[in-house]
Amino acid sequence: MRRSEVCLNALNRRGVYLEDLVECARFLHGPYEDIKDTTIAAVLIDILDKREVENALLCAIEMDELCEKDQYSDKSLQERVLHDDGLFGVDEVLAYGICNIYGSIALTNFGYIDKIKPGIIGKLNEKKEGVCNTFLDDIVGAIAASAASRMAHEKGS
Ligand code: MG
């Protein structure tokens, strides 16, 4: 199975779909270029085919799901993850791993989308009993930010 399929299967299990990623990437890049959804989707698939992206994404989802199942051995850490403690920050650091592949535009876009939280990112960030998306919201933001960076560089080259 292609890495992008593995990633999309995991994302779908968590209620995130390719269209949601397209919407977030369009939010960032839309003001600079009139671009088709299918073009954005192709850029996103390319990003999801990268080994480093797959590894970060699967680790993030694993951390969220273990938290939901009450399976952290360190319950104090589990509480910090479950409540998305403002000073936790490891979720963002894992997401930087994706942005770092795509350069400075990906990093600045990530900071911006993490602040505004459009579409699915806002939904993932809503507090719901028994649900943990502490790591996933940042991964989704990082993938969208990376796609926007790729599109910016393709337009500029
Ligand atoms: Mg987070």
Confidence (pLDDT) at 75: 97
Cα-to-centroid distance, 135 and ligand 1 (Å):
5
Q: Which residues contact 114 (CB under 8 A, 6 or more apart)?
A: 92, 121, 138, 141
The interaxial angle of helices 51-68 and 3-13, nearest 10 deg, is: 20
Cα-to-centroid distance, 15 and ligand 1 (Å):
16
- 97: enclosing H helix or E strand: helix 90-99
Confidence (pLDDT) at 86: 85
How many C-beta atoms lie closer than 10 Å to residue 60's C-beta? 26
Cα-to-centroid distance, 90 and ligand 1 (Å):
8
Q: Summarize pLDDT for 17-50 with one digit per residue, the tens.
A: 999 999 999 999 999 999 999 999 999 999 999 9
The total number of structural domains in the chain stands at 1
The whole domain housing 112 covers 3-155
Cα-to-centroid distance, 96 and ligand 1 (Å):
12
**Quick check: 152 and 32 in contact, CB under 8 A?**
yes
Cα-to-centroid distance, 91 and ligand 1 (Å):
5
Confidence (pLDDT) at 44: 98
Which two three-digit tokens encode residue 135?
A: 């790591």
Q: Summarize pLDDT for 144-157 with one digit per residue, the tens.
A: 999 999 999 988 76
Confidence (pLDDT) at 156: 77
Cα-to-centroid distance, 60 and ligand 1 (Å):
10
Confidence (pLDDT) at 155: 85
In this prediction, what percent of the chain has a pLDDT beyond 70? Answer: 99
Assign residue 69 the CATH number of its domain: 1.10.3760.10
Confidence (pLDDT) at 102: 96
pTM of the model: 0.96
**Quick check: 71 and 132 in contact, CB under 8 A?**
no
Max CA pair span of the chain: 49
Average pLDDT, integer, range 6-20: 98
Q: Summarize pLDDT for 83-118 with one digit per residue, the tens.
A: 998 899 999 999 999 999 999 999 999 999 999 999
Cα-to-centroid distance, 133 and ligand 1 (Å):
7
Confidence (pLDDT) at 157: 60
